Amino acid sequence: MASIVVDDHIMLRAHEVADAQELFDAVNQSRKHLNPWLDWVSKTTKPEHSLQFIQQSMDELHAQKALALGIFYDDKIIGGIGMHDWDHETRSAQIGYWLASEYEGKGIISRSMQEFIAFLFDKTGLNKIEIRFVQANKRSAKVAARMGFKIEGVIRQSVMRNGMPEDMVVTGLLKSEWEPLPFDFAQGRLREGEPACR
C-alpha cells in the first residue's frame, strides 16, 4: 500500500475498501464547501460511489495511470491528494487535492503537498507536475504559488462550473525547479522571515 508520513499526525495513504463509508462521510460533511470547485462531489451521493472510487483508484495505481491517496489526521480521513493523467512518455502528470472545511487554514495542505511532490519527483520518475484550477479558485492559486508552480497559460472556457463555461489556469513545476519549503512542522506554518513563494 502506498503511504507517505508527513508528520506525527498526518499521513497520506492509499484507501482500502473498508474506508468507503468514512470517505463518503468526509465528502458529505464538506459538500457545500467542495461542490463549487470539484465536479465529482455532486456525483458522490452515497457510500457506494466512494467504494467505486476506491476500487477504480486501485486499478489505476496497478496500471500506473494515477495515484490517489487519502489525507489522514490521527487516522481520520480529512481530505485527499492525488496524481492523475500520468504520461510516462513525457514524464508528466497533474495533481489535485481537497480538504474538509474544518481543517483549512492549518497548513495541512502545504505540508501534504510538499511531501507528495517530493515523493512523485523522487519515486515515480516525473519531470513535471501540473496543477490546474478555475480562475475563481483563489485558494488553489495561492497553494500552487507557494509550492513554486509557475503559471503557464489559461485555457479559455474549457470547463463547466454551475452550468457556465469557465477558464482553466494551468500551472507547472519542473523537477529542476523544486525546492522544499522552509517549513516549521512543529508550528504548522512557514518559518518567520521566509517567503511563501519562490
- CB distance 106 to 78 below 8 Å: no
Task: Report CA dihedral (32, 34, 36, 37) to the nearest 10 degrees.
Answer: 180
**pLDDT given at position 76:** 98
Q: What is the mean pLDDT of the chain?
A: 91
Q: Which of 134, 178, 142 is nearest to 160 (CA)?
A: 134
Q: Please write the tens of the pLDDT for every residue from 118-142.
A: 999 999 999 999 999 999 999 999 9
How sure is the predictor about 182, in pLDDT bands with cuts at 50, 70 and 90? Answer: low
Domain positions in the chain are 3-190
Q: 0.75 cut: is pTM over it?
A: yes
The pLDDT of residue 75 is above 60:
yes
CATH fold group of domain 3-190: Aminopeptidase (3.40.630)
Alpha carbons 56 and 161: distance in angstroms, whole number: 24
Ramachandran bin of 158, using left for φ above 0, alpha for ψ from -120 to 50, beta for the remaining angles: alpha
Q: Please write the tens of the pLDDT for every residue from 19-74.
A: 999 999 999 999 999 988 898 999 999 999 999 999 999 999 999 999 999 999 99
**pLDDT given at position 183:** 57
Percent of the chain with pLDDT over 70: 91
**pLDDT given at position 184:** 55
Q: Please write the tens of the pLDDT for every residue from 4-33.
A: 999 999 999 999 999 999 999 999 999 999
Alpha carbons 174 and 74: distance in angstroms, whole number: 32
How sure is the predictor about 164, in pLDDT bands with cuts at 50, 70 and 90? Answer: confident
**pLDDT given at position 198:** 30
> Lowest mean pLDDT: which of 94-103, 119-128, 149-158, 172-181?
172-181
